[in-house]
Chains A and B, each alone.
Chain A
Amino acid sequence: MNFMLPNFAPAYPEIFLLVMVCGVLMADLAWGDKKPGTAYLLAQLALFGCMLITFGTLQPDTIHTFSGMFVDDTLADILKMLVYITVSVVLVYSRTYISDRGILSGEFFSLALFATLGMMVMISASHFMTLYLGLELLSLSLYAMVALRRDSAGATEAAIKFFVLGALASGFLLYGMSMIYGATGSLDIGSVTKAIEGGVISRGVLVVGLVFIVAGISFKLSAAPFHMWAPDVYEGASSAVVLFVGSAPKLAAFGFVMRLLVEGLGAMSGDWQGMLIILAITSMVIGNIAAIAQSNIKRMLAYSTISHMGFMLLGLIGANENGYSAAMFYVVVYVLMTMGTFGIIMLLSRAGFEADKLDDYKGLNRRNPWYAFIMLLLMFSMAGIPPTVGIYAKLSVLQAVLNAGYTWLAVLAVLLSLIGVFYYLRIVKLMYFDEPETDAVIAPKGDVRVLLSANGLAILAFGIFPQSLIALCTYAIQHST
Chain B
Amino acid sequence: MSFADIIFYFFSAVLVASALGVITARNPVHSALLLVLAFFASAGLWLLLEAEFLAITLVLVYVGAVMVLFLFVVMMLDINLARLREGFWKWFPFGLLLGLVMSIEMAMVLTGKQFGANELPAPAARAADYSNTKELGRLIYTEYVYAFELAAVILLVAIVAAIALTLRQRGESKSMDVAKQVAVKREDRIRLVSMASEKKE
Contact = CB atoms under 8 A, between A and B. Distances in A.
A9 B113 CA distance: 47
A374 interface: no
A138 to B, nearest CB: 10
B138 interface: yes
Contacts of B150: 121, 130, 133-134, 137
A182 B114 CA distance: 12
A410 interface: no
B144 A144 contact: no
Given A66-B146, A114-B160, A205 B153 contact: no
Interface string B137-174: 01000111111001101101110110111001000000
Contacts of A468: none
B98 interface: no
Given A18-B153, A114-B153, A202-B114, A140 B146 contact: no
Interface in B100-128: 109, 112-115, 119-120
A377 interface: no
Contacts of B109: 204, 208
A353 interface: no
A148 B164 contact: yes
Contacts of B160: 25, 107, 110-111, 114, 144
Contacts of A144: 157, 160-161, 164-165
Interface residues of A, number: 38
Given A133-B150, A204-B115, A140 B142 contact: no
Given A3-B142, A129-B144, A140 B164 contact: no
Contacts of A121: 150
Contacts of A105: 164
Interface in A192-235: 202-205, 208
A136 B146 CA distance: 15
B115 A140 contact: no
Contacts of B147: 69, 127, 129-130, 133
Interface string A120-152: 010000010110011011001101100110100
Given A137-B150, A148-B165, A205-B120, A66 B157 contact: no
Nearest to A130: B147
B157 A204 contact: no
A130 B146 contact: yes
Given A117-B153, A133-B151, A182-B120, A111 B164 contact: yes
A70 interface: yes
Nearest to A33: B169
Contacts of A130: 146-147, 150
Nearest to B110: A208
Contacts of B163: 107
A1 interface: yes
B154 A66 contact: no
A461 B60 CA distance: 61
A309 to B, nearest CB: 25
Interface of chain A, helix or strand or loop or mixed?
helix
A36 to B, nearest CB: 14
Contacts of B168: 150
Given A150-B165, A205-B114, A208-B109, A111 B146 contact: no
A117 B152 CA distance: 13
B114 A69 contact: no
Contact of A1 (B112, B115, B138): B138
A62 interface: no
Nearest to B163: A107
A204 B146 contact: no
A150 B163 CA distance: 12
Nearest to B165: A147
Contacts of A127: 147
Contacts of A202: 114, 119
A245 B49 CA distance: 41
A67 interface: yes
A105 B161 CA distance: 12
A137 B165 contact: no
A205 B113 CA distance: 10
B142 A136 contact: no
B119 to A, nearest CB: 5
A69 B144 CA distance: 8
A67 B112 CA distance: 36
Contacts of B157: 111, 114, 137, 140-141, 144
B98 to A, nearest CB: 12
Contacts of B164: 105, 107, 111, 144, 148
A140 B161 CA distance: 8
A129 B119 CA distance: 25
Contacts of B154: 133, 136-137, 140
With a 10 A CB-CB cut-off, give which of B120, B142, B144, B147 has the most chain A CB atoms: B147
Contacts of A69: 144, 146-147
Contacts of B165: 144, 147-148, 150
A129 B160 CA distance: 23
B44 to A, nearest CB: 20
Contacts of A205: 114-115, 119-120
19 contacts: A6-B145, A18-B153, A69-B144, A69-B147, A107-B163, A107-B164, A117-B153, A121-B150, A130-B147, A133-B154, A134-B150, A137-B154, A141-B157, A143-B161, A147-B161, A150-B168, A202-B114, A204-B112, A204-B115
Given A110-B160, A114-B153, 12 more contacts: A11-B146, A105-B164, A111-B161, A130-B150, A133-B151, A137-B157, A141-B157, A144-B165, A150-B168, A204-B114, A205-B114, A208-B109
Q: Top 7 A-B pairs ranked by shortest CB distance?
A: A204-B114, A144-B161, A107-B164, A66-B146, A133-B150, A67-B143, A202-B114
